[in-house]
């Protein structure tokens, strides 16, 4: 069975390195992007099954990129998980309304993070919202 492919989209290099290390140690294939433009290129090249999407990034933010991914028939099947430290009451509903299939908060719990990512992969993408 092939290793699952995950793309980390985050403008913080330390977050990327920690998450990359934890997921790779669990046998998950990891690719990274520091912004939306890089993410778009990596999505096409690496064909990830799941994207860990930072929400607050310079330029195009994570929610805008998520909407673009979910609007494109070629990429809407990719599981997009919001990955942010800015979690307040009502944020999960806002994230899901933008097309996120799940939510994981920062900072990560190293011991359980890979299992959380695998659970998001197993759950798959959420059904698209109706008109």
Q: For position 62, which CATH number holds? A: 3.40.50.2300
Q: Is residue 28 part of a domain?
A: yes
| Domain count along the chain | 1
Judge contact between 8 and 39, C-beta under 8 A: no
- In this prediction the pTM is 0.92
Judge contact between 80 and 101, C-beta under 8 A: yes
131 residues of the chain, pLDDT tens digit each? 689 999 999 999 999 999 999 999 999 999 999 999 999 999 999 999 999 999 999 899 999 999 999 999 999 999 999 998 866 677 888 888 899 999 898 999 999 999 999 999 999 887 655 44
Q: Is residue 130 part of a domain?
A: no
Q: Is residue 128 part of a domain?
A: no
> Encoding tokens for residue 120?
């998001």
N-to-C CA span, the chain: 37
Q: Is residue 88 part of a domain?
A: yes
Q: Is residue 131 part of a domain?
A: no
Domain containing 118 equals: 5-123
Q: Is residue 129 part of a domain?
A: no
């Amino acid at each position: 069975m092939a290793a699952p492919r995950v793309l980390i989209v985050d403008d913080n290099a330390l977050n990327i390195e920690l998450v990359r290390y934890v997921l790779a140690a669990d046998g998950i294939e990891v690719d990274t992007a520091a912004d939306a433009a890089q993410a778009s290129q990596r999505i096409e090249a690496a064909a990830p099954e799941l994207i860990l999407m930072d929400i607050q990034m310079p330029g195009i933010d994570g929610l805008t990129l998520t909407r673009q991914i979910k609007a494109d028939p070629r990429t809407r099947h990719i599981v997009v998980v919001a990955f942010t430290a800015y979690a307040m009451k009502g944020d999960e509903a806002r994230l899901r309304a933008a097309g996120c299939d799940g939510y994981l908060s920062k900072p990560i719990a190293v011991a359980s993070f890979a299992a959380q990512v695998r659970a998001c992969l197993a759950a798959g993408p959420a059904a698209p919202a109706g008109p």
